[in-house]
Structure formats: C-alpha cells, structure tokens
Amino acid sequence: MKKLLAAAFCCTLTLGVSAQVTDWKIATKYDKKSAKEQLTKRFTHYVTFDTQSDPLATKVPSTPGQVRLAKELAKELKKYGAKNVQVSANAIVTAEIPATSNKPAPTVAFIAHMDTAREVSGKNVKPQTHKDYKGGDIVINAQHNIVINAQNSPQLAQAIGHDIITASGGTLLGADDKTGVSIIMTMVQYLYDHPQMQHGPIKIAFTPDEEVGTGVDKLDVAKFGADYAYTVDGGALGELTNETFTGKAFKAVFTGNRAVHPGFAMNSPFEDNVLMASDFHTLLPRQSRPETTSGHRGYIYLDIFQTQGDTTTVEGILRAFSDEEMNALLAQLNQALRTVKAMHNKGTATLEVTDEYRNFNEKLPPLMISLAQNAMTQEGIKPVLHAARGGTDGSILSFKGLPAPDLFSGQFNVHSEREYADVDVMEASLRTVLRLISLWGMQSKN
C-alpha cells in the first residue's frame, strides 16, 4: 500500500511540474475578464431558446426547440474551427477539435445537455445579470416576490463579488445545463483563438432530453470515438461528481371490484382499489422517503397515482448508492405489496420494477479523477468529490463504455424560478476544462 501511495504522489508531482513548464495560461495570456464576458454573452443568448423537454413524448428530441438550439450550436462550432460537425436525427450535436501536439494522447470529450427541466416553463426566458453581488437579497421579480437570499440559497455566501444571472420571473433560467453548454463552447473558441496551446484530440457533444433520461442513449459511443469524457453539468465551485445513485422505477397496479353500490358493499364482492393503493403508499416506511434521507442514504418515492374504474396504478422510483441498500428498498416495496394483498384478498395487486441507471463509480478510471483534481488544484480551486443524489448523462455513458464523471458548472437552485448561474464559477470551470485539456495532452495513448 505504501508503494502505491508513493507512486500516486510521484504521478501527481510529475503532472504539476510538467504543467508549470508548459503552462497553458502563460502560453495563451489568459484574460479572466474577457472570459467572463464571453460566458455571459453566450449564456444569456442560449437561455432564450425554449428547450424544455417533454416526458410524455415518444421521440427524441422531445421538443422542437432543442433542434433549433442544436443547429445554432453546430453553426457556432463551425465558425470556431471545429471539424466533422454533425447534427444527428435525434438532435445530438457532435464535433471534434484536432490535436495541436505531435504526442499521441487519449481523445477526451466534453459533453453538456441542451434541454431544460419540466417543473417550470422555459418559454420566453428573460435573463438579467446582477453584477458584483454585494450580499443580501437578489430580487428576481418584486411583483411575485421571487427572491434569492441567504435563507433559501445559503450558498450565496460564497458568491460575494460574483456576477449572478437569474431569470425575470415566471420561468426557470436554464442554467441546467446551459452553463455547461456555454463553458464548452467558450473553450472551443479559446482553442481556436489560441492555436499555440498544446493539446491532444478533443470531442464535443451537446445532447437533448437529459431531463427525461432519453437523449444520451442515442449517442453512438463507438462512432463518437472518445476514450474518456467529462459532462459539464454540476453546481458549486470544485464539485467533481464521481458517484451517482443507482435508479430503478416501479409500477404497482391494484384491481378491485368497485361496481357494487356502496350501500350494499358489506358481504359482497366489493373491493376498493383506491384504498388498496392508498394502503400501499402508507405502508412504505417513512424513514425511506426523500424528505427523511440525505447524504448516502437512498429513498422510495411515489410520484404518480392514477385511478380509472376498478384499477388504480401507482408509479414511483427507488434510489440507492449501493446494491445492498437497493435490495433493502426492494424488500420494503415487496413487503408493502404482500401486506396489501393480505388485507384485500378480494382484489389483485402486481408490481413491476425496471432499471433506469446505475452508480457509475465502478466504471471511472482513477486517472480521470486524479487529473480533474490536479486541474482544479493547479487553478487554485479545492476539488470536492461529490456523490450526486440523482443521475447524470455520465451514468448512462459510463455503462456504454465511455466513462464520464461530472464537472462543476456554476448552476444553482435548478428546476425552479429561483434558478441562477454564477458567472465567476462558470469562469473557474472554463479554466478547469482548459487545464484538464492540457494535462490530458501530456498523457500517453495506450
């Protein structure tokens, strides 16, 4: 073990020294102010595209606005020298940036999603920039009392002096994940404007329908041709997601004979399917609900309850970080169903469980994480390993053969009217990505 730790230390030290010899910021004379201006301009433009995804759609992309943004991004990629720019039938934008170094290096991809969440409208977003935040309340919309402050957004304490972008009320902002799209596109322009920066081959992908879990599955990983990838879809400064939930969905169907006059229900075939479903929900342990769990504890959540005639259907999700906990949650689910069957022997109850995504931690090569940590450290950013209480596109990609941890991108209060983007954190993410590109260019392709 000591030998392994020593080897890891030497590797880290070597990377740090090499980075200083060919420092990308010195070679390109990086200007933070200019970078922030570009990020702000791009982001405030991209959020005006209504790309809200539709969970009821049967096609990918689920909404036409995603196609419009995909075409806009493809046009911009070509403008800044990207090669082999394509928009697939599913509105997946892919491109490549050729290596500027003669050293054979791995091909690294950067990926972000174009769609926005379903909880709040993404139509007619009107961004507003609050420059040099001084602390206190940020009023998004005074008329509707939409405010972000230390009480509902405690992370604002870390944003003093930063530029904050919000919507103007009635919509979400689209920071999830148009911050990531803006960071990647600004990186593309930076490499175009600074051809003296040495790097290996780079791939780019902008994907649809991440919020409904159907878009990235349409990416042909083999054809895409990357060895490693990073999604840029995280939140706070330094956040490096190397773990996600494992997700499953369930559907329970309860059937009872309600075609009996309730006045004569006693001693009849009457069975109330609505009550069966209600009992099932009540029997699920309260200590396994979302509002009672945090950190590395998973949960059971019922989010659809529909009744039609003699049939009631409930649908929900299971989330856990480990197989052991997932099996425990499945046992709780099945125990509740068995109890309902025993309580309501005149009706029927069935349960179907399907896989959604898996914790991608086991699929991430240690080198990917150590290089990302090195990139942040060399940019003066403290890396923080993060276990996401959800899934990312990287969850799916990693099990398709393209390992893809997630990098911070400065998005906060996502999926709500209080959503905001922190431009200074976006700029730090841009520097991290550029440093990471430089570090990957020093690696040997196996």
What does 177-221 look like in DSSP terms, one character per residue?
HHHHHHHHHHHHHHHHH-TTS----EEEEEES-TTTT-SGGGS-H
Residue closest to 190 by CA, chosen among 431, 436, 425: 431
Q: Which position among 50, 76, 115, 422 bears the catalytic label? A: 115
Is 115 one of the annotated active-site residues of the chain?
yes
Residue closest to 388 by CA, chosen among 423, 409, 424, 360: 360
Hey, what are 91's tokens?
């509105």
Answer left, alpha or beta for residue 115, where phi above 0 means left and psi between -120 and 50 means alpha: beta
Hey, what are 340's tokens?
């309902």
- Other residues' Cβ atoms within 10 Å of the Cβ of residue 189: 18
Amino acid at 123: K
d(CA 393, CA 112): 8
Q: Which position among 210, 227, 239, 424 bears the catalytic label? A: 210
CA distances from 169 to 135, 146, 216 (A): 20, 7, 30
Amino acid at 433: V
Q: What is the greatest pairwise CA distance in the chain?
A: 87
Active-site residue numbers? Answer: 115, 210
